[in-house]
Amino acid sequence: MGERSQPIPAAGVIVDDSGRIVAAGPRSTLDSHYDDRRDHQVLMPGVLNCHVHLTDAGEDTPVPGGAGLNAWVRKLLSQRSGEPRGGTGLNESVAEVLERMRRAGTVAVGEVVNNYETFGAIARSGMHCRFIHELISFRRDRVDATIAWAEEARKNVEWPATMAHTLGAHAPYSVSPELMRRIAGLTRDRNVNIYQHLAEDPDERLLYESTSGPWRNFLEQIGAWEPEWTPAGCSPIEYYDRMGILDDHFVAVHLADATADELAMLGARGVRAILSPVSNLHITGLLPKLDAIVGNGIRFALGTDGRGSNPGIDVFDEARVLLERWPDLPAGIFLDALTTEGAAILGFDDLGAIAPGNVPGLVAVQIERITDDIRSLEQQIILSPIRRDRVA
């Protein structure tokens, strides 16, 4: 992780009516500017939920997991096949979930979509959103049509100032190398990040190493298999490295099945990550090797994923799961993931940090006790039963 600022005891901020920070510093320098003091609170920036699928906003019960990603996807598609999608019902569900997120201190989301069904509800909500239109096609002959369709969709909506577009790539088992190269080129030209589900489950490794396994069977069954595909003889991570597309604009989502050597490679290339441990545990029972992620300097943010695998909408829950599993890691790493790293990964420069000129959405976190021990204070913020109030 990069160098980060430390919590400041006995300090505060002054904000204007819009939430923009005017001043920040020791309380003694601000005393003449405020008339209310609340003890046992920590003031922090609003948090960023960097990986969500709001098309599942209306789902309260997750699709049964535990048998691997391929089996879960099949159940998900079967369940969705008889359900109406979009329309008023989805709009209301998206608006309700975003309001719940806002009340819990969330100021921005990374919405991962295959279409624009959730766009209108997000735009009306005023929530900051990186709208990640992930493309899917494993067939070489569909690359041009897929790109053209995505570009036309981008031009056909009016983008509010709170929303930003980027093309994403769904996963190694659903995106051909040719389409991956095109997406990577377009995102680099636009100086934005490319986001992809990567190393989520061991079966994607089988497809690249030996052209076998559940994902080949699935693609053949739905008529999406590329008949000229030949084994890469290596994992998708190594394959993408050979393609030259792993760099500091690449954001890998999940990494639950990534090996220590692969994580070292990603760290060396400057790749960043978004982790969704609650969803990983539900679908596969795997957790990313967070000690190796941190040890290799991979900067990461957090996301709750879709409600089909995690009905929770509070990104703090993701931080708690990881800190409870790796209690020796500094809790401040997870606070960074929730704030500054999330803002950097989604590309919102005025969020994630309390600094003059920013509009980070201030959140007051109720804690049990005030302490000068920074490690203890940070652990309280993440682990203790807490109440959060939006204050600006």
Cα 150 from Cα 148, distance rounded (Å): 5
Could you tell me if residue 361 is inside a domain?
no
**Taking all residues of the chain, what is their mean pLDDT, rounded to a whole number?**
92
Could you tell me if residue 52 is inside a domain?
yes
Token pair for residue 10?
Answer: 């006995």
Q: Report residues of the chain scoring pLDDT below 70.
A: 1-7, 9, 15, 17, 27, 31-40, 82-87, 370-371, 385-386
Name the one residue in this structure whose structure tokens are 């100021």. Answer: 107
pTM: 0.90
SS in 3 state form for the chain?
CCCCCCCCCCEEEEECCCCCEEEEEEHHHCHHHCCCCCCCEEEEECEEEEEEEHHHCCCCCCCCCCCCHHHHHHHHHHHHHCCCCCHHHHHHHHHHHHHHHHHCCEEEEEEEECCCCCHHHHHHHCCEEEEEEEECECCHHHHHHHHHHHHHHHHCCCCCCCEEEEEEECCCCCECHHHHHHHHHHHHHCCCCEEEEECCCHHHHHHHHHCCCHHHHHHHHCCCCCCCCCCCCCCHHHHHHHHCCCCCCEEEEECCCCCHHHHHHHHHHCCEEEECHHHHHHHCCCCCCHHHHHHCCCCEEECCEECCCCCCCCCHHHHHHHHHHCCCCCHHHHHHHHCHHHHHHHCCCCCCCCCCCCCCCEEEEECCCCCCCHHHHHHHHHHCCCCEEECC
Predicted local distance difference test score (pLDDT) of residue 79: 85
CATH number at residue 124: 3.20.20.140
Predicted local distance difference test score (pLDDT) of residue 37: 47
Cα 287 from Cα 312, distance rounded (Å): 17
Instruction: Specify burial of residue 123 (Cβ count, 10 A radius: 0-12, 13-18, 19+).
Output: middle
- Beta strand 11-15 with 21-26: parallel, antiparallel or unpaired? antiparallel
Q: Over the stretch 268-319, which tens digit does the pLDDT of each residue have?
A: 999 999 999 999 999 999 999 999 999 999 999 999 999 999 999 999 999 9
Which residues constitute the domain of residue 243? 45-352
* 120 Cβ contact partners less than 8 Å away, ≥ 6 residues apart: 91
Name the one residue in this structure whose structure tokens are 């394959």. Answer: 239
Number of domains in the chain: 1
Could you tell me if residue 89 is inside a domain?
yes
Could you tell me if residue 5 is inside a domain?
no
Could you tell me if residue 358 is inside a domain?
no
Predicted local distance difference test score (pLDDT) of residue 38: 46
Could you tell me if residue 234 is inside a domain?
yes
Could you tell me if residue 38 is inside a domain?
no
Q: Over the stretch 18-38, which tens digit does the pLDDT of each residue have?
A: 778 777 887 677 766 555 544
Could you tell me if residue 183 is inside a domain?
yes
Cβ atoms of residues 255 and 275 within 8 Å: yes
